[in-house]
Structure 1
Amino acid sequence: MTDKSELLRQLRIDRHERPAQTAPSRRWWWAAGLSGLLIAAGLAALFLLHSSLPMVQAAVAKPVALGAGADAGTSVLDASGYVVARRQATVSAKITGKLAQLFIEEGVHVKEGDIVAKLDDRNASAALLQAKAGVTQAESTLAQAKAAATDITPIYERDRKMAAAGVISATALDQSKATFDARQTDVAVAQGNLAVRRAALEIAQRDLDDTIVRAPFTGVVTTKNAQPGEIVSPLSAGGGFTRSGICTLVDMDSLEVEVDVSENFISRVQAGEPATLKLNAYPDWAIPAYVIAVVPTADRSKATVKVRVGFKSRDPRILPEMGARVSFLSRPQNGTNGSANATGGVTLPAAAVQANAGGATGIVYVLHDDTVERREVKLGARSGDAQAVIAGVSSGERVAVGDLTKLSDGAHVKVVDHS
């Protein structure tokens, strides 16, 4: 009985001790659940914070490579312009006439004095023959007048001696003198007439010479404006049926580039400074050039100043009216340690620079791990997607590329690509 009672006692559930045994277990589950929720919330907040960071790419500032020579430098300004000829002429005849022969075509090289065209010279030849005949007639008249003057001279001398001796009257001497003076006057008149005839002959000869049109200088014919049979004239007349020019002649040795530079940046350009040209037709061909002059006047309608740029070497591929892109170069500065000043600046992607008003300065954001530093820089020329930075960034520094409007000094960023 005792054993049965002991067994029943052991099997009995003590209701007062059970809550004491289960209370710690419940508190542990609540603590574990709360900790899990806090960890999940923290991870979610961290994820949201990281995902909300501005995403940027990284670009490395590269030094501008200087070419050989004392004129090598970095581009401080770019401008567009056109190839023009300082020596160019519309060749025309000095007189109005019908074009009889044409000896040129587009692209033909001619030398100074070469015959370009001939006009119908029949009228000029006839006028020359008439002028020659007039000269011949005037010469004959002069010879006749001189002969008459020669014949009257001894008669007048004899009458004067006879009048002195009282042989003839004073009236007879006066008549003899009048005849002598008249013959001398005839000689003077004939000489004057001969001079007029000779001048007319020279004019007629020049008119005939003017029917031959010659090249005023050595160059290349770029346009042909008239055809044989058309009337040409140095004046624009004839209701549109008269050609005012025969051809256009260009001196290829006088080619240069004219560009319009904004007056905001004209201080960067000086006469004699080096430059590099790239023709639109040959974008990969860098042509050495130099600044001839800055024209000392501005265009108020465009707020620009004209700059003349010359070629250091000639090439037959350079043609008038070609579009050109000019990069004005700064002379290299003396420097050491490979700094940006020593190399003349660095280049960055254009998307890494936020240009200020005017374009002379800008803002870049330099990367320091996952933060950025706002830095103001001095800008050079922009070429395509590359922007030259003259000062403010050193070679090798990493800058942010992306939507720069979302960045601020010291802001955290997410770098998604390294370059």
Structure 2
Amino acid sequence: MINKKKLIPGIMVVVSFILALILIGLKPEAGASKRQYIPPLVNTMMVEPTDIQVIVKSQGAVIPRTEINLTSEIAGRVLWVAEKLSDGATFSQGDTLLKLDPRDYELALISAQSNLSQARVALSREEAESELARQEWEKVGDGEASALALRKPQLAQAKALLAATEAAYEQAKRNLDRSLITAPFPGRVRNKNIDVGAIVTPGTPLAIIYAIDYVEVRLPIANKDLDFLEIPFDGNLIKPEEQPEVIVSADLGGNSYEWKGTIVRSEAEIDPRTRMLSVVARIPNPYRLLSNSIPLKVGLYVNADIKGKKLRDVVILPRHVIYDKDLVWVTNKEGILSKREIQIIREDGDRAFIKEGLFFGDEILMTRLGVIIDGMQVRMDAERRRN
């Protein structure tokens, strides 16, 4: 009988030998473990310099060009107030907004007119008497006549009296005209402070009104954008032919609206709070009195696009293709990458404007790679290539 204990070691040796042969047969050949490098598939863009109109963006609130306290220049009782002199109402230049009791001023005008007539008669009489005195002196007088003999003082007094009565008449006439208070400009009422029956005195505030023939928007400009505006920064009005165009816009009721205007001046001082210089946009006919479009109301907060300088022969790139602030990767016909230093003259949102460092026909790497080195090879996807 075979001893099992003696067979076990022999079996283990045989099994080990068989496993060794299997492992030797499965061993890969030398160099087979190296993977072949496959260049990554990338998207590129061919450089084509172009001209670009710079748009400088800003924001601001619409303000009236002028706002005043409408006041009375004379005293009196308010007899009538126009419906146009109501909160929020609009009016045209020259519209009568309020009427004061004119009776006292009508009487004063009649009295002044009477005094004026008397002064004219007195002057005519004195002129006649002065002429008569001169003629009599020439007939009987000896030597040069005195001023008193020729009634020159009396004539001067009559002329002065006429001048005074003429001034009094003009003043009375103006006071009567001032009993009708009219609009000094086309505008809108912010607040009405008076009503029928009230007694007013000179300087009494009747209403707060503001002009609507045009409105203005103060637009703060970032320091980096100042060089791209073609305007003087001395605070003076810009010549009409040199005023840059501006489009202001706002969303109202789910719709977007635009209004056109121009930049008319820059402010003379830097805002101490924002440390920025502001320019002033002017938008004519904001309430669209001559059209059916939506009005640009005072107080509305708007976005502004200001037409700036025109840049010549620049390359526009997405900012994500720029590395380390001033480097891009370009590829040659063989797909070999090399880095190129560029000069960025302006950034606008996700775009960068490049002035130097790139040339027509350069292929810019548009795909963001995790690892990238100088001399690295890539494959350019013809279908994904951007022009």
Q: TM-score range by the shorter chain?
A: 0.5 to 0.7
Distance in 2 (alpha carbons) for counterparts of 1:232 and 1:388 = 62
Shift in alpha-carbon separation, 1:157–1:26, aligned structure 2, 3 A: closer
Q: 2:17 aligns with which of 18, 24, 29?
A: 24
Shift in alpha-carbon separation, 1:400–1:244, aligned structure 2, 3 A: farther
- Contact map agreement 1:258 1:307 (CA 8 A) in 2: yes
- The answer to whether residue 252 in structure 2 is matched with residue 262 in structure 1 is no
Aligned residue number for residue 226 of structure 1? 193
Distance in 2 (alpha carbons) for counterparts of 1:309 and 1:60 = 42
State the shift of 1:31 in Å: 9.7
State the shift of 1:226 in Å: 3.4
More helix as a share of residues: 1
Distance in 2 (alpha carbons) for counterparts of 1:204 and 1:143 = 24
What's the secondary structure of 2:270's corresponding residue? Answer: strand
Aligned residue number for residue 236 of structure 2? none
Distance in 2 (alpha carbons) for counterparts of 1:11 and 1:207 = 142
Deviations 1:30-83 (A, max 9, x none): 999xx9xxxxxxxxxxxxxxxxxxxxxx9999x9xx9xxxxx945553211233
Aligned residue number for residue 306 of structure 1? 278
Give the TM-score normalised by the residue count of structure 1.
0.56
- The answer to whether residue 297 in structure 2 is matched with residue 319 in structure 1 is yes
State the shift of 1:222 in Å: 4.2
One-letter code aligned to 1:327: D
State the shift of 1:94 in Å: 5.8
State the shift of 1:265 in Å: 2.7
What's the secondary structure of 1:327's corresponding residue? Answer: strand
Shift in alpha-carbon separation, 1:199–1:408, aligned structure 2, 3 A: farther
One-letter code aligned to 2:299: E
Distance in 1 (alpha carbons) for counterparts of 2:7 and 2:190 = 122
- The answer to whether residue 205 in structure 2 is matched with residue 243 in structure 1 is yes
Aligned residue number for residue 216 of structure 1? 184
Distance in 2 (alpha carbons) for counterparts of 1:286 and 1:154 = 82
Segments of structure 1 that go 5 or more residues without pairing to the other structure are 1-7, 36-57, 67-71, 165-176, 236-241, 357-361, 402-406, 411-417
What's the secondary structure of 2:149's corresponding residue? Answer: helix
Distance in 1 (alpha carbons) for counterparts of 2:133 and 2:12 = 176
Larger Rg: 1
Deviations 1:132-186 (A, max 9, x none): 233344345556656776887888788x47xx9xxxxxxxxxxxx99x7396644
Distance in 2 (alpha carbons) for counterparts of 1:275 and 1:31 = 83
Shift in alpha-carbon separation, 1:15–1:182, aligned structure 2, 3 A: closer
Structure 1 residues 327-406: aligned runs within 5 Å: 327-329=305-307, 341=315, 345-346=316-317, 379-382=346-349, 387-391=350-354, 398=366
Across the aligned residues of Structure 1 and Structure 2, the Cα RMSD in angstroms comes to 5.6
Aligned residue number for residue 279 of structure 1? 249
Shift in alpha-carbon separation, 1:334–1:141, aligned structure 2, 3 A: closer
State the shift of 1:409 in Å: 6.3
Shift in alpha-carbon separation, 1:323–1:146, aligned structure 2, 3 A: same
State the shift of 1:308 in Å: 2.8
Deviations 1:315-359 (A, max 9, x none): 723333322212334566566xxxx73xxx3566xxx59999xxx
Distance in 1 (alpha carbons) for counterparts of 2:23 and 2:125 = 151
What's the secondary structure of 1:134's corresponding residue? Answer: helix
Aligned residue number for residue 97 of structure 1? 75
What's the secondary structure of 1:309's corresponding residue? Answer: strand
Give the TM-score normalised by the residue count of structure 2.
0.59
Aligned residue number for residue 92 of structure 2? 110
One-letter code aligned to 1:249: A
State the shift of 1:205 in Å: 1.2
Aligned residue number for residue 100 of structure 2? 119
What's the secondary structure of 1:299's corresponding residue? Answer: coil
- Contact map agreement 2:109 2:172 (CA 8 A) in 1: yes
Segments of structure 2 that go 5 or more residues without pairing to the other structure are 29-41, 232-241, 289-293, 374-383
What's the secondary structure of 1:228's corresponding residue? Answer: coil
Distance in 1 (alpha carbons) for counterparts of 2:261 and 2:44 = 30
Deviations 1:221-263 (A, max 9, x none): 243533334455674xxxxxx31646333213xx343301123
Shift in alpha-carbon separation, 1:146–1:289, aligned structure 2, 3 A: closer
Shift in alpha-carbon separation, 1:85–1:374, aligned structure 2, 3 A: farther
State the shift of 1:115 in Å: 2.7
Distance in 1 (alpha carbons) for counterparts of 2:96 and 2:155 = 44
- Contact map agreement 2:330 2:363 (CA 8 A) in 1: no
Shift in alpha-carbon separation, 1:270–1:210, aligned structure 2, 3 A: same
Aligned residue number for residue 238 of structure 2? none
Distance in 1 (alpha carbons) for counterparts of 2:172 and 2:323 = 70
One-letter code aligned to 1:323: Y
- Contact map agreement 1:233 1:244 (CA 8 A) in 2: no
- Contact map agreement 2:250 2:258 (CA 8 A) in 1: no
Q: More deviation in 299-308 or 223-232?
A: 223-232
State the shift of 1:210 in Å: 2.1
> Would you say how many aligned residue pairs link Structure 1 and Structure 2?
327
Distance in 2 (alpha carbons) for counterparts of 1:355 and 1:114 = 65
Q: More deviation in 101-110 or 139-148?
A: 139-148
One-letter code aligned to 1:194: L
State the shift of 1:364 in Å: 9.2
